Amino acid sequence: MSNMNPKVDFFFDKATKWQEEYKHLRTIILDCGLTEELKWGVPCYSYQKKNIILIHGFKEYCAVLFMKGALLHDAKNILIQQTENVQSARQVRFTTVKEIVKLAPTLKSYIYEAIEVEKAGLKVELKKTSEYAIPEEFQTKLDKNAALKKAFHALTPGRQRAYIFHFSQPKLSKTRESRVEKYMQQILDGKGIDD
């Protein structure tokens, strides 16, 4: 594994969970000739400066995430869309080294396919902001408040989507409504949810 990047070692060294699983995933990925870097605080592997796959962990599982997983054929039906709002990326999840070893040849074939996707310059067709359903509680406010509607539509599409996702998440209407109330002034000020 001559492609190991010492700057990424700290991620693996500090891991309190999934250490053996990470080690196996790292070996499999590096065997495919990708460049290892640390991005977003996790190991990210690229081909000619195009991000292909990353390794990350959660409480219940560790995973690899294919950046353009939606474009892979997924013959083995192992790719998982984390949430309905994730358009491009797809995960493969693991809880044991045994699962990783068993899937190693499949993972490599998916990695090689992901490299071919980049070589071909393929892009995921992303949904437009207008295609997302605006929660009823927010739509009501937009309909009643022209300034709010104008300010919301003046935001960048990414900021609009962030608000739509945030307002849509709660199951209770009351909670959705309170989120809308909380952020109305921020929208009117032309700011994103995290500004």
Q: Report mean pLDDT in 10-residue bins for the chain, 195 residues.
A: 81 92 97 95 95 96 97 96 85 97 97 97 82 89 95 91 89 93 95 88
User: Strands 90-94 and 62-66: what pairing?
Assistant: antiparallel
Amino acid 1: pLDDT: 46
Domains of the chain: 6-119 (3.90.1150.200), 129-188 (no CATH)
Supply 99's token pair: 């699962």
> What's the pTM value of the predicted model, to 2 decimals?
0.72
Q: With left for phi above 0 and alpha for psi between -120 and 50, is residue 49 left, alpha or beta?
A: left
Cα end-to-end span (Å), the chain: 42
Amino acid 87: pLDDT: 84
Q: How big is the CA angle at 89 (ends 86 and 93), to the nearest 5 degrees? A: 105
What is residue 88's three-state secondary structure? coil
Contact between residue 141 and residue 148 where contact means Cβ atoms under 8 Å apart:
yes
